[in-house]
Structure 1
């Protein structure tokens, strides 16, 4: 699931950069639903992998939502690609190596 979310960060960021805001927004909503599912599993994941920080994920999600409210889609694209995607990549690597 984390790898899927990781890939989708880049796809959504690409849509926003291309100016395809409606498609990006639709995919972003589904992305958030899946992030919510991940958050539900974090308690279990965190007991096995304590280095994974839910606080860091929450901070990045708060930034994303703030910029979505501002309709600053290019900033959202940057946050997805340069903030959230690397965090998910780290999580995926940590879990897969563990």
Structure 2
């Protein structure tokens, strides 16, 4: 039995050799057009590939039931924006922690955390940029202005880092990075609205 988003499909799992063939058939039949798979349950257990093409190794004789859950790109984008709110809070917490460690002269720990903070920030900006491109969002959401401010701040922080002026870096994190991070909340909120508007078109 194959269930997609709560609807049973007329598909005989046994007519396929393995799980990958079932997935291919689901796609070919257009059951997931314009949608993104969020969950796959095989025999009511969550399934995700541990290695590429693992689904090829799962024979259909082992499958009693298959359930696929999906979301529209808009629903997915909307839930991503909620995750981005959490990331903003992580960035704020991380910035505060790094600043404190520099002030306590715990430079090694601070630098390690600072690198993590940079990675999270890079991923965050990448995700925001993708959302913006995917939905051709207008720039009235303030993205460009906040991004420019953020970029010049990071340029300054990189220079300070090279000079190993940890106290100045702590100041920049506390007095400029944290307020700048807060501004992203408004940008994300505006992007959420833009995505809702895009869904109505």
Q: TM-score range by the shorter chain?
A: 0.7 to 0.9
Instruction: State the distance in 2 between where 1:45 and 1:72 align.
Output: 36
Count how many residue pairs are aligned between Structure 1 and Structure 2.
97
Between the two structures, name the one with larger relative contact order (CA 8 Å, sep ≥ 6).
1
- The CA deviation string for residues 26-56 of structure 1, in whole angstroms up to 9 with x for no partner, is 0001111111101212322593762132111
Q: Residue by residue, what CA displacement relative to the aligned partner does 1:55-81 show, whole Å, maximum 9, x if unpaired?
A: 111001111111000000000000001
TM-score, normalised to structure 1's length?
0.88
Q: What residue is the counterpart of 1:77 in the other structure?
A: 170
The aligned residue for residue 9 of structure 1 is 95
TM superposition score normalised by structure 2? 0.45
Worse overlay, 48-57 or 71-80: 48-57
Tell me whether 1:88 sits opposite 2:152 in the alignment: no
Higher helix share: 1
* 1:3 shift after superposition: 1.1
Give me the whole-angstrom Cα distance separating, in 2, the residues matched to 1:10 and 1:96: 23
1:24-39 alignment, distance < 5 Å = 24-39=110-125
Unaligned stretches of 5+ in structure 1? none
- Report the equivalent of 1:50: 141
The structure having more radius of gyration, on CA atoms, is 2
In the alignment, the residues of structure 2 paired with residue 14 and residue 45 of structure 1 have an alpha-carbon distance, to the nearest angstrom, of: 34
What is the CA–CA distance in structure 2 between the aligned matches of 1:16 and 1:45, rounded to whole Å? 35
Q: Which has the higher strand share?
A: 2
